[in-house]
Amino acid sequence: MFKGSFVALVTPFRADLEVDFEALGRLVDFHLDQGTNGIVPCGCTGEAATLSHEEQKAAIRFVAERVDGRVPVVAGTGSNNTKEAIGLTAYAKEVGCDGALLITPYYNKPTPAGQLAHYRAVAEAVDMPIMLYNVPGRTGTKMTPETIAELARTSNIVSIKEACGSVDQVSQILAQSDISVISGDDALTLPMIAVGASGVVSVAANVAPAAVAALCAAALDGDYAAARETHYRLLPLFHGLFMETNPMPVKAVLARMGLIENHLRLPLVPMTPESSARLDPIIQGLVKM
């Protein structure tokens, strides 16, 4: 159901650290113009951890209305509180989103039984397509292929964003279920598609949307020569955008592109000048300045 390049959209802030909806609109229009296949607001890259629920809902609604059905919108609605996750997911459905991205509950570190109960509770409460999100580097816990395969038996759990850094994990998931796997690591998009993944939820697509979409399209069409060429051309960017904590580098680049102002909410801060200097030669020729 979800296929191609989905951008893990940043949330732009003004100097007063309120959400900059004017800039958010520019970002959405930029992606629609550049061929991004889907938009994911209010995930980790969107700094959802520092958004109030009211702000998160406002951003989700704004993006859904701005996109107006032209590409799928998969809203970040996850929480380590199942009741909150249900409420945010229900809201995403109400305002017309096409799916919900739900991170594995963080901090609580639920067992597989708890993960099953959490996701089933959300899926039963809200009848909309759900994309699981496995990112142990952020949550402190990893979903096993067996747990994912069991959740795939639920009809509206249709996809998983895999960001555990393992192509073997993707292979094991697809060997046990028919769930759609989406890469959560830009640098692993091509190898993951090679073993059966359907695309990527991409940080790099924020700044190079056409190129990331082209990489996915070529790989999904079986044109691995073209996909490899784009992969290796973008590889320095994939790594450069994580030289400091995401989304610090990608927001710095977007600011250089004139699309947003470079503001983050504490405890995140702008990149150091030293890291910015290292990033500058990487982005030359890869992003439209």
Active-site residues: which are they?
133, 161
The rounded distance, in Å, linking the Cα atoms of 48 and 46 is 5
Helix (H, G, I), strand (E, B) or coil at 108: coil
Q: Do residues 91 and 60 make contact, with C-beta atoms less than 8 angstroms apart? A: yes
Q: List C-alpha distances in Å: 137 to 122, 201, 247.
A: 23, 16, 15
Taking the C-alpha atoms of 7, 80, 119 and 102 in order, what is their torsion angle to the nearest 10 degrees? -10
In this structure, the chain runs to a length of 289
Alpha helices in the chain (DSSP H): 21-34, 53-67, 82-94, 112-125, 136-139, 145-151, 167-176, 189-194, 209-220, 224-240, 248-256, 273-283
| DSSP state letters, 124-168 | HHS-S-EEEEE-HHHHS----HHHHHHHTTSTTEEEEEE-SS-HH
Residue type, 192: M
